[in-house]
Structure 1
Amino acid sequence: MTKRHPDSPSRFVIHRRSRKHLVFVDAHGVADVIPDVRRMAATGYPVEWNLIGEREKDTDAHVVIASLISARRTWPRIDDSDALRIYLEKQPMGTHLYIAASWTSARALARIAEMLGYAKEDIQIRGHGQRYDQVFCIACYTINPIGDAPTVLCRQCGKTIAVSDHYSRRLDAVLGYLTLDTMPKKEET
């Protein structure tokens, strides 16, 4: 079992109004989505399986998925590729995306789908791994990489910034606020 982020749902919600289900999963999320895929297959609507990353040797989970779904694709990388864009554009109205992958891959795929007109309500993400990769320093507007610590030393201004959960889609980063010890002090008169 993959360690999911605490904010990730344990199960996907299968929409009644969905006319097609597209499942995008990486190697770490395969076993976790089997119960969800069974529920999707029970709806009677088409389900397509999309593996993110290099195809590995089929595991028991892959065999179970293959018995439930006949349509399978492999995407070595999730990026803004023409093939992925065409694949998503050709899907019928009412298609829902269910993504069980690293947060980086899941966000990239969701961004592509939203640019193509998929509604946020039609995309569900069950992420694993580090949720955010970078933090935006509000003191000097520099984007910094995030480690495991709750604070980051800004590489531009040298101030300590606290990593928040306030995510900016435009910047693809969380906001970093100045900590109390780095805030400028008011001079007393």
Structure 2
Amino acid sequence: MLVEGIKSRPVYHGIAADPRARRHIFVLEGEGARALLEQEPSLTPAILASTEILYVARGSAGEGHVEALSALGADVAWTAPTVETLLFRLKAMLAVAHMGTRLYISGTEGFIGKAMQVALDQGMDYSTIPTEHRGSLARRVQCVHCKGVTEDVATTPFTCSHCGLSLLVRDHYSRRLGAFQGVCIDAEEPGVRPEPEALFL
């Protein structure tokens, strides 16, 4: 039911510490911790001494990620209680960051979108920020009709949590909003819509 060939669909090329960077900020959510932990053999003492890790254990509690990230020996390894707290700290860090600081983001698509919004608001260029998708495929979707955003959408169509319309989830992605777009699927024939498909698990 998705429209093929939408060019705005994000592409995640993976994260790897840039040895030329003066400072590294890894922003990780849930399974996104593995994106950094899998690089441990290539993380030199010099890289780790200039690395700050911001992590939120959403969706992966009890898997030892907090302990494993701390054991890397980075300059700073901080675990946030919520995504919002992590993003608040990230905003403060980027506001005082110096030239040569690299930002890396890994986690679910919704998390990547939110962290990218913070970076863009601080003047960073999205093309310079390595990202890696890890964890759930659930999407962050904005209703184009009421402008409300629904988190963790796993099916299409789904009912907007703000206005109640039945929305088709499109592959069209807004970098500014950090969300996919949802459009009313039964606008011409109210109530006539296909059964929801679980496409984003």
Under TM normalisation by the shorter chain, which class is it? 0.5 to 0.7
Q: 1:130 & 1:51 partners in 2: Cα distance?
A: 19
- Greater mean deviation of Cα atoms: 59-68 or 14-23: 59-68
Contact map agreement 1:18 1:96 (CA 8 A) in 2: yes
Aligned residues: 172
**Structure with greater contact order relative to length (CA < 8 Å, sep ≥ 6):** 2
Alignment-derived partner of residue 140 in structure 2: 133
Q: In structure 1, the residue corresponding to 2:15 is in which secondary structure?
A: coil
The SS at the match of 2:67 is: helix
Between stretches 59-68 and 111-120, larger displacement belongs to 59-68
Matched, 1:19 2:22: yes
Work out which of the residue numbers 18, 22, 29 in structure 1 matches 2:32.
29
Change (3 A) 1:157 1:28: closer
Partner of 1:100: 106
CA distance in 2 between counterparts of 1:163 and 1:59 reads 34
1:52 aligns with 2:59: no
Q: Deviations over 1:109-156 (max 9, x none)?
A: 22112211222133222233244222424xx45547474333235685
The answer for the alignment partner of 1:187 in structure 2 is none
**Quick one: which amino acid aligns to residue 42 of structure 1?**
T
Gaps of 5+ in 2: 1-9, 190-201
Identity among equivalent positions (%) equals 19
1:79–1:108 Cα contact (<8 Å) kept: no
Change (3 A) 1:59 1:157: closer
Q: CA 1:84 to 1:149, structure 2 compared with 1: closer, same or farther past 3 Å?
A: closer
For residues 48-88 of structure 1, give each alpha carbon's deviation from its aligned partner in whole angstroms, at most 9, with x where no partner exists: 2222248x779378347524424222222333765443222
Using the size of structure 1 for normalisation, the TM-score is 0.65
Q: Distance in 2 between matches of 1:27 and 1:89?
A: 25
Give the C-alpha shift of residue 182 in structure 1: 5.2
Is the Cα contact below 8 Å between 2:110 and 2:179 reproduced in 1? no
Cα distance, 1:43–1:165 mapped onto 2, change above 3 Å: farther
Larger deviation: 111-120 or 44-53?
Answer: 44-53
| RMSD, matched Cα | 3.8
Q: Pick from 69, 88, 98: which aligns with 2:74?
A: 69
Q: What is the alpha-carbon distance in structure 2 between the residues aligned to residue 82 and residue 7 of structure 1?
A: 25
List alignment gaps of at least 5 residues for structure 1.
1-5, 185-189
Q: Letter of the 1:71 partner, please give it.
A: V
Q: What SS does the corresponding residue of 1:99 show, helix, strand or coil?
A: strand
SS of 1:87's partner is: helix
Q: 1:124 aligns with which of 107, 116, 130?
A: 130
Determine the C-alpha separation between the residues in 2 that align with 1:71 and 1:157: 43
Q: Are 2:30 and 2:56, in contact at CA under 8 Å, matched by a contact in 1?
A: yes
